[in-house]
Amino acid sequence: MSKILSMKELVPTIYEAVVEAPEIARKAKAGEFLVVMPDEKGERVPLTIADFDREKGTITIVFMTIGTSTYKLAAMKAGDSYYAFVGPLGHASEIKNYGTVVMVAGGVGTAPIYPIARELKKAGNKVISIQGARTKELLFWEDKLAGVSDEHIITTDDGTFGRKGLVTEPLKEICEREKVAVVYAIGPIPMMKFCTFTTKPFGVKTIVSLNSIMIDATGMCGGCRVNVGNETKFTCIDGPEFDGHQVDWNLLTSRQKIYLAEEKCSLEKYVEEAKK
């Protein structure tokens, strides 16, 4: 079992855990993911690696409370151990010197964007990061992301911090003003979708991460099937990163909604039991 060394709420509904996992930390790469289970009856929660320290033997995960299992994860404390903490899984990000890269992080997507941006900066790229959230109180890791970026832009939907508006607005401006080699967009599905719509007219390769639709993360359940370039892919085996211009976004959106009723029912039962 993997021991939690520290646990804290970064902003409302978003938590950070630093976990003792030396074997995983030794092999971890930016873009890979983990499967985390709070207890024997918990779901297999796929989480992209937010940070890793090979010397200390630690892995950092960041997650948002949405359903029963993530609420269970948030209830755990330093000193507790996860029932399962498995990884690294999936294909790592392709790190090389592209030239100018733009990293677009939406909400909790800041966490998986950070290590990719850091490694791309180390590889000699000019890194421009765009970090968006609905409101100021939901922003986190601003300093960390700015620290690995040559330019750091913050947007909020309500204008409480940074620019008022969506991340696609500065993304378009950057693509208009200079030659961008590649864009990474990680966040809610609608945000990633519209980032790809923004970059397509400029012919800029845009990488998205689709781990949020995974279920068992082994390729056996078929729950994470996606259509990419008119081919069936499995996010857990073939991804989690894909060329966003090739993703069938309508199919992906419909698949993400398949278990909404069951997830709502499970959470309601969990909340009721917690009150007893």
Alpha-carbon gap, residue 152 to 133, rounded angstroms = 14
Alpha-carbon gap, residue 211 to 224, rounded angstroms = 8
Domain shared by 207 and 121, yes or no: yes
The DSSP bridge pattern shows strands 225-228 and 231-234 to be: antiparallel
Q: Does pLDDT of 238 surpass 80? A: no
Quickly tell me which residue has 């299992």 as its tokens.
69
Per-residue pLDDT reduced to its tens digit, 7-21 = 999 999 999 999 999
Domain shared by 106 and 128, yes or no: yes
Confidence of residue 76 (pLDDT cuts 50, 70, 90): very high
Confidence of residue 257 (pLDDT cuts 50, 70, 90): low
Confidence of residue 215 (pLDDT cuts 50, 70, 90): low
pLDDT for position 234: 80
pLDDT for position 54: 95
Domain shared by 119 and 169, yes or no: yes
Domain shared by 12 and 104, yes or no: no
CA-wise closest residue to 111 among 142, 154, 149: 142
Contact between residue 5 and residue 51 where contact means Cβ atoms under 8 Å apart = no
Mean pLDDT of 89-110: 96
State what percent of residues in the chain have pLDDT above 90. Answer: 72
Q: Does pLDDT of 217 surpass 80? A: no
The model's pTM: 0.91
Alpha-carbon gap, residue 186 to 241, rounded angstroms = 9
Domain shared by 240 and 162, yes or no: yes
Domain shared by 112 and 192, yes or no: yes
DSSP 137-163: GG---HHHHHHT-SEEEEEETTSSSSE
CA-wise closest residue to 131 among 164, 104, 113, 101: 104
Beta-carbon count within 10 A of 128 CB? 22
Mean pLDDT of 219-246: 82
Domain shared by 148 and 250, yes or no: yes
Q: Give domain status of residue 262, yes or no.
A: no
Domain shared by 171 and 190, yes or no: yes
Q: Does pLDDT of 270 surpass 80? A: no
Alpha-carbon gap, residue 243 to 226, rounded angstroms = 12
Domain shared by 129 and 244, yes or no: yes
Q: Does pLDDT of 197 surpass 90? A: yes
Q: Which amino acid is at 44?
A: R
pLDDT for position 274: 67
Per-residue pLDDT reduced to its tens digit, 25-75 = 999 999 999 999 999 887 888 999 999 999 999 999 999 998 888 899 999
Alpha-carbon gap, residue 197 to 252, rounded angstroms = 15
Per-residue pLDDT reduced to its tens digit, 119-151 = 999 999 999 999 999 999 999 999 999 999 999
pLDDT for position 200: 97
Quickly tell me which residue has 């961008």 as its tokens.
180
Q: Where are the beta strands (DSSP E) in 157-224?
A: 163-164, 182-186, 205-209
Q: Does pLDDT of 95 surpass 70? A: yes
Average pLDDT, the chain: 90
The DSSP bridge pattern shows strands 81-82 and 45-48 to be: unpaired
Alpha-carbon gap, residue 249 to 226, rounded angstroms = 9
pLDDT for position 68: 85
Domain shared by 251 and 160, yes or no: yes
Beta-carbon count within 10 A of 2 CB? 22
Q: Does pLDDT of 267 surpass 70? A: no
Q: Which amino acid is at 224?
A: C
- How many structural domains does the chain have? 2
DSSP 24-50: HHHH--TT-EEEEESSTTS--EEEE--
Alpha-carbon gap, residue 67 to 267, rounded angstroms = 6
